[in-house]
């Protein structure tokens, strides 16, 4: 039944936990998907493409989109705005796709509020805070000040793991990917409340 409306898979976790690597690893093994690309006001990094990694916009454009209620959710992270555009998400769900969100805990709250009955959530993190610090330093994309902010944010995010359906500790990429594939396939089977109620009525009517 849920194939008619699609389903949502939310992935959250600290920056540097390997969410992008996991998504790239499993994307061809979980059926039709739509990866929700966030809109952001942060500067584009080397190697990133507009419309592929993020939709990069100015503060002015972002504010206009907020006024027009074009976001499913939006938040300020490390001084920059991030938001999820609603239109493409609705279209993908109607096409029966698994919509994947890579968003923070604030975004997870918003998705649960709007799409909770078809949402499965996963928190992805490193085995330890020390390992996270090591990964952030080794990728050499952020200053020490930004890394410090990311680590403080991670400490707060980890306190909210219990709000998620699953926890994946990304210690070994292959093993973590295998678990995430299983979760993604299960997410597709989640049936919206409306369809459950319709099934119950149909089931009883044929008693």
For 42-96, give the secondary structure using H, E and C. Answer: CCCCCCCCECCCEEECCHHHHHHHHHCCCEEEEEEECCEEEEEEHHHHHHHHHCC
pLDDT digits (tens, 9 = 90+) for 8-63: 999 999 999 999 999 999 999 999 999 998 899 999 998 999 988 888 999 999 99
Token duo for residue 206: 């044929």
Number of domain units in the chain: 1
Asked whether 105 and 12 are in contact (CB, 8 A), the reply is yes
Has residue 65 been placed in a domain? no
Has residue 90 been placed in a domain? no
Has residue 28 been placed in a domain? yes
Has residue 83 been placed in a domain? no
Q: Angle 189-194-199 (CA atoms, 0-180°, nearest 5)?
A: 75
* Domain containing residue 137: CATH number: 3.40.50.300
How many other CB atoms are found less than 10 A from the CB of residue 19? 21
- The pTM (predicted TM-score) of the whole model is 0.83
Query: Which residues of the chain have a pLDDT value below 70?
Result: 1-4
Residues 6+ apart with CB under 8 A from 49: none
Has residue 73 been placed in a domain? no
How far, in Å, CA of 195 to CA of 38, rounded?
A: 29
Has residue 63 been placed in a domain? no
- Residue the block writes with tokens 């100015």: 58
> In this predicted structure, what is the pLDDT of residue 88?
85
> In this predicted structure, what is the pLDDT of residue 4?
60
- 3-state secondary structure at position 9: strand
| Mean pLDDT of the residues in the chain | 92
> In this predicted structure, what is the pLDDT of residue 175?
97
Residues spanned by the domain of 172: 2-36+97-205
Has residue 196 been placed in a domain? yes
> In this predicted structure, what is the pLDDT of residue 167?
98
Has residue 119 been placed in a domain? yes
């Amino acid at each position: 039944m849920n194939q008619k409306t699609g389903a949502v898979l939310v992935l959250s976790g600290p920056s540097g936990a390997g969410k992008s690597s996991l998504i790239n690893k499993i994307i061809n093994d979980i059926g039709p998907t739509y990866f929700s690309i966030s809109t952001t006001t942060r500067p584009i990094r080397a190697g990133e493409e507009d419309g592929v990694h993020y939709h990069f916009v100015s503060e002015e454009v972002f504010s206009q989109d907020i006024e027009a209620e074009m976001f499913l959710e939006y938040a300020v992270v490390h001084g920059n705005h991030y938001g999820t555009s609603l239109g493409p998400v609705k279209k993908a769900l109607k096409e029966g796709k698994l919509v994947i969100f890579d968003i923070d805990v604030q975004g997870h709250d918003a998705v649960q509020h709007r799409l909770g009955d078809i949402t499965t959530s996963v928190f992805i993190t490193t085995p330890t805070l020390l390992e996270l610090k090591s990964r952030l330093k080794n990728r050499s994309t952020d200053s020490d000040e930004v890394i410090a902010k990311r680590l403080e944010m991670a400490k707060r995010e980890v306190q909210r793991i219990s709000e998620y359906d699953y926890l994946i500790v990304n210690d070994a990429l292959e093993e973590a990917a295998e678990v995430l594939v299983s979760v993604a396939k299960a997410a597709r089977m989640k049936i919206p409340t409306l369809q459950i109620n319709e099934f119950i009525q149909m089931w009883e009517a044929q008693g």
